[in-house]
């Protein structure tokens, strides 16, 4: 799964450097969504090979590395763009991913499969469709419903606010020395760095103190910070609020990873994390559309109020609707 994601992502990026028109680029973007997903694959692998009591901390380290990459990547991409141009930048990025695939093949160990080969005589249509039904069946697991809903809601609110964040920065006061571009970069960097540092910490807390409590804390903190955006404070305060959102995202990420692992039985971790990734991608896709609709009808402050209240509602579910979260 991990090798498929890394190799697929690398080949698609190389292909993007060779496209001749927008239609080809659109097809490759679609293939990128189908073939890639390195973060989810890495989280699934780490959660599978790590003892259950250490899941949050281990996946927290992986998520922290991802956030550091999110922070450094645009900087290196800008340098590559200036020195190499668009097409070669895609090619170099794809080559780096292929090198990572080789490293993963050589140095990353997987858990041996315990499955036995099915008897060909017993094959039927239902047997043939069993893998597909099992993959989507994870969405119906009662103990996974709350986790999937929390991840969808978190990603939708985050995507909605980030997509329209440049418009928000233009509307707030800022010092004369702070340009719009620098303010946006500082705010997003604060979010990424705070999340990178805090995710392993909250992963350890989720392992030791209870993942639902960590999830509720992150939801309340993130919801409060989003609602405060509606007051349109100056840019310095906004950067501090984005720092809090990074901490909240770290808590929610660590908690949902632990809860996803707990909801999965032995041998079904891939299905559980696949459902988790599906919910996140649905949130990423629908969030900007919903956010744009709210802004068009009620303005930017309303977007942050709605996003904040939606995020805070996750805490109510985590603390009150226990049947939707794994208890073991």
Where do the domains of the chain lie?
Answer: 2-107, 138-324
Read off the pLDDT of residues 224-267 as tens digits, 9 standing for 90 and up: 999 999 998 888 899 999 999 999 999 998 888 888 888 777 66
Mean pLDDT of the chain: 81
Does residue 81 surpass a pLDDT of 60? Answer: yes
pLDDT above 60: residue 131: no
As a residue count, the chain comes to 328
Region 130-148: what's the mean pLDDT? 62
Domain 138-324 CATH superfamily: MFS general substrate transporter like domains (1.20.1250.20)
> Higher confidence at residue 1 or residue 285?
285
pLDDT the model gives residue 101 = 87
Residue 227's pLDDT is what?
95
**Which pLDDT score, from 0 to 100, does residue 320 have?**
79
Q: What is the DSSP string of 227-249?
A: HHHTT---HHHHHHHHHHHHHHH
Cα(286)–Cα(297) distance, rounded to whole angstroms?
17
pLDDT-derived band at 139, boundaries 50, 70, 90: low
User: Comparing 120 with 78, which gets the higher pLDDT?
Assistant: 78
Highest mean pLDDT among 105-114, 119-128, 144-153, 298-307: 298-307
pLDDT at 277 over 70: yes
What does the pLDDT average to over 274-284?
81
pLDDT, position 110: 66
What is the per-residue pLDDT for 68?
A: 78
pLDDT at 309: 96
Q: Phi and psi of 111, rounded to 5°?
A: -80, 130
Tokens of 70: 């999110």
The reported pTM is 0.77
- Residue 108 pLDDT > 60: yes
Flag whether pLDDT at 220 surpasses 50.
yes
Give the residue-averaged pLDDT of 287-292: 91
What pLDDT shows up at residue 132? Answer: 46
What number is the average pLDDT over the span 22-47? 78
Contact 47, 59 (CB under 8 A): yes
Tell me the mean pLDDT in the region 69-73.
Answer: 75
Show the tokens assigned to 219.
Answer: 């939801």
Q: Is the pLDDT of residue 273 over 70?
A: yes
Q: What is the pLDDT of residue 117?
A: 47
Q: Are 150 and 211 in contact (CB under 8 A)?
A: no
What pLDDT does residue 176 have?
A: 81
Give percent of the chain with pLDDT exceeding 70.
83
**Of 318 and 143, more confident:** 318
Distance CA 26, CA 33 (A): 11
Residues near 79 by Cβ (< 8 Å), separated by ≥ 6?
none
Q: Which two tokens stand for residue 276?
A: 């988790």
């Amino acid at each position: 799964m991990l090798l498929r994601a890394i190799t697929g992502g690398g080949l698609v990026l190389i292909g993007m450097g060779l496209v001749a028109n927008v239609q080809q680029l659109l097809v490759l973007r679609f293939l990128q969504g189908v073939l890639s997903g390195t973060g989810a694959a890495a989280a699934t692998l780490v959660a599978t090979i790590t003892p259950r009591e250490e899941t949050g901390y281990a996946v927290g380290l992986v998520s922290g590395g991802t956030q550091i990459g999110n922070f450094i990547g645009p900087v290196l991409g800008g340098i590559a763009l200036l020195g190499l141009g668009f097409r070669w930048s895609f090619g170099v990025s794809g080559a780096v991913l292929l090198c990572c695939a080789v490293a993963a093949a050589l140095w990353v160990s997987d858990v041996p499969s315990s499955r036995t080969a099915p008897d060909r005589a017993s094959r039927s249509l239902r047997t043939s469709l069993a893998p597909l039904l099992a993959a989507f069946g994870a969405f119906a697991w009662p103990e996974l419903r709350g986790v999937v809903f929390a991840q969808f809601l978190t990603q939708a609110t985050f995507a909605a606010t980030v997509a329209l964040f440049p418009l928000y920065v233009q509307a707030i006061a800022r010092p004369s020395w702070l340009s719009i571009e620098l303010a946006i970069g500082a705010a997003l960097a604060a979010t990424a760095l705070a999340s990178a540092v805090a995710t392993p910490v909250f992963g350890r807390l989720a392992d030791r103190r209870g993942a639902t409590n960590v999830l509720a804390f992150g939801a309340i903190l993130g919801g409060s910070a989003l609602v405060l955006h509606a007051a349109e404070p100056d840019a310095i305060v906004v950067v501090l609020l984005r720092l809090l959102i990074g901490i909240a995202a770290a808590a929610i990420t660590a908690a949902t990873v632990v809860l996803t692992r707990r909801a999965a039985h032995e041998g079904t971790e891939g299905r559980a994390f696949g459902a988790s990734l599906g919910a996140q991608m649905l949130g990423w896709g629908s969030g900007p559309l919903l956010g744009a609709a709210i802004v068009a009808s009620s303005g930017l402050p309303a977007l942050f109020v709605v996003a904040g209240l939606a995020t805070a509602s996750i805490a109510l579910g985590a603390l009150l609707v226990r049947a939707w979260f794994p208890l073991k």
